[in-house]
Structure 1
Amino acid sequence: MEISFAKYQALGNAYLVVDTSAMEIGTDEIRRLCDFRTGIGSDGVLFGPSYPDDADFGLRIINPDGSEAEKSGNGLRIFCQYLYDQGVIGTQAFTVKTRGGIVRARIFPEQQLVEVSMGQVSFDSAQIPVAGPAREVLLEEIAVGQRSMQVSCATIGNPHCVVLTEEPTQAIARELGPLLEQHSLFPNRSNVQFMRVLDRQNIQIEIWERGAGYTHASGSSSCAAAAVAHRLGLVEANLTVHMRGGDIAIAISPEFEVTMTGPVQAVCRGEVVVRA
């Protein structure tokens, strides 16, 4: 079958947007499409829009390994920009339903920015989920390979594990990210952020994304890491998250509702033949 796609990137995090009518394509084809050598190349596939009863639009987010993600900040911003470019929405606020909950979004075309209210962050082990007794998972000591380290965990509709470090590097993310992603504490695996606090308004992170691997930027990772830093009293409620791919502005309410704002760019459009 032949499908149409649009490719967008948000701070170096690229996604393909494909109509929901193509949802029947299999895991092997998803992997091929996302591979930069055998396909178009992307960090996942966004299937949408659909039209649920409880939101303006619906979105399904598929990782490069074929697994389904509950939520993706960069993916959501890309999907919102795609809707705007298609003429489906204007500059008014609208809602998008994901597997990880409903978000509210708005486009600012003059500034070339997309704002998404990602929902409420929780540090509760049952909600994330994290194995063991019910608790807030903050600065817990765990064993990772031959190392011992402190982790703080959160969910914003998808699970995150944040490690405070003085040197967040790509090498550390690639070495320890897969071990933490699949750690026995995390029954649904976890996204992983290695975070350095720069000052009261800025943090830096390196990211290992569940189902995708090392990535230059992540919206939900930015939200989770910022919320953890704020919960630990290390930063203010309005801050900037610095990543290898660029920066995202984060605002955190007293109830830990998190809003992110960042850029999106269209890359290309086309058609590709896949096996159904």
Structure 2
Amino acid sequence: MTPLLFHKYHGLGNDYLVCHRSVAEQLRTEQIRILCHRHYGVGSDGLLIDSGDLHQPTLRIINPDGSEAEKSGNGLRIYARYLFDIGRVGHESFLVHTAGGDVHCRVHDDPHQITVEMGQANFSPAALPALIDQPEVLNYPLKLADETILVSLVSMGNPHCVVLVDKLDLALVHRLGPQIENHPVFPKRTNVQLVEVVDRTTLRIGIWERGAGFTMASGSSSCAAASVMRKLDRVNNRVSVNMPGGQLQITFDDNFQVSMSGPVHKIASLTLDEDCFAGGKVAS
């Protein structure tokens, strides 16, 4: 049996556990849920699985509820730092395969700073998917239980629903997030961002992450929110995105190719005790 070795990192307070596929193959979905639980397990916003070989880094991303995500900006930055820490990569740019598409990553001379080329923002609702028959969805009236809100949709290799607000209120993120995540228009659910435009170079966002809930920071959410605001001509090609956990830098080219830069810090390496799973199931 392979020892249950994990490495814990965070990017702006968005924390992940990283393990090799030989460890993940020993875990059932319910055990992953326990592992990620803040009280019954180690606690994390998800599990990153190093699934590739020495020549092709490949990342699988498991949410705390056991579902699988296509892509994660913070997850990719953390995975890049993990590969650097174990000596698989250096400071040169390298390719990582994800279910949401291939991306290039680079660990800076200061290894706390990571840049990820996130790919092209896709504004087609079919890319999320979303059951809306339009070529693009910008400021679309989405009916919720007690109100109708204007939303804009974008895929960064994973689904995002962006809501522009006059003033960011994190209580509103908690109220609207689960309603939008599980709205029937999104058959595979969606990530949600509430966005306040501070000026043409600065955004403030609150994040409700699919399968995880309220999140301190998210790389793909930052890219999605900035992409929609760029599409609406509310910001320039370089944007600072501020979240409860900290700040990321997002840049665009004219074809909406998105680059994200920000910090990663290592917390610990640890070997899990099997007794972690003896306490029974975690409530959904």
Q: Same fold (TM over 0.5)?
A: yes
Q: Paired residue for 1:248?
A: 248
Match of 1:209?
209
Offset at residue 49 of structure 1 (A): 4.2
Counterpart Cα distance in 2 of 1:235 and 1:194: 15
Q: Which residue of 1 aligns with 2:120?
A: 120
CA distance in 1, matches of 2:205, 2:149: 16
Query: What is the root-mean-square deviation in Å for CA atoms of aligned residues?
Result: 1.3
Q: Does 1:65 align with 2:65?
A: yes
The match for 1:5 is 6
Residue deviations 1:24-46 (CA, integer Å, cap 9, x gap): 21111111110110111100000
Aligned to 1:36: 38
Corresponding position of 2:181: 181
Cross-structure match for 1:258: 258
Asked if 2 retains the 8 angstrom alpha-carbon contact of 1:56 and 1:94, the reply is: no
Q: Which moved more, 1:20-29 or 1:198-207?
A: 20-29
Specify which structure has the higher proportion of strand: 1
- The aligned residue for residue 281 of structure 2 is none
TM-score by length of 1: 0.96
Structure 2 distance, partners of 1:110, 1:22, is 29
5+ residue gaps in structure 2?
278-284
Q: CA deviation at 1:137?
A: 0.7
> Equivalent residue of 1:233, what SS?
coil
Scaled by the length of structure 2, the TM-score of the pair is 0.93
Distance 2:137 2:165 in 1: 17
SS of alignment partner, residue 98 of structure 1: coil
Match status 1:226 vs 2:229: no
Q: What secondary structure sits across from 1:173 in the alignment?
A: helix
2:118 touches 2:257 (CA, 8 Å); kept in 1?
yes
Amino acid at match of 1:270: L
Q: Which residue of 2 aligns with 1:171?
A: 171
Identity of aligned residues (%): 45
Q: Structure 2 CA distance, aligned partners of 1:69 and 1:109?
A: 30
Report the Cα distance in structure 2 between the residues aligned to 1:248 and 1:73, rounded to whole angstroms. Answer: 10
Q: CA deviation at 1:231?
A: 0.2
> What amino acid is aligned across from residue 103 of structure 1 in structure 2?
V
Contact 2:197/2:204 (<8 A) preserved: yes
Is the counterpart of residue 193 in structure 1 residue 193 in structure 2? yes
Cα distance, 1:134 vs. partner? Answer: 3.4
Map of 1:74 onto structure 2? 74
Which region of structure 1 is more displaced relative to structure 2, 84-93 or 22-31? 22-31
Q: Deviations over 1:96-125 (max 9, x none)?
A: 001100000000132731000011111111
Q: Is the 8 A contact 2:5 2:23 kept in 1?
A: no
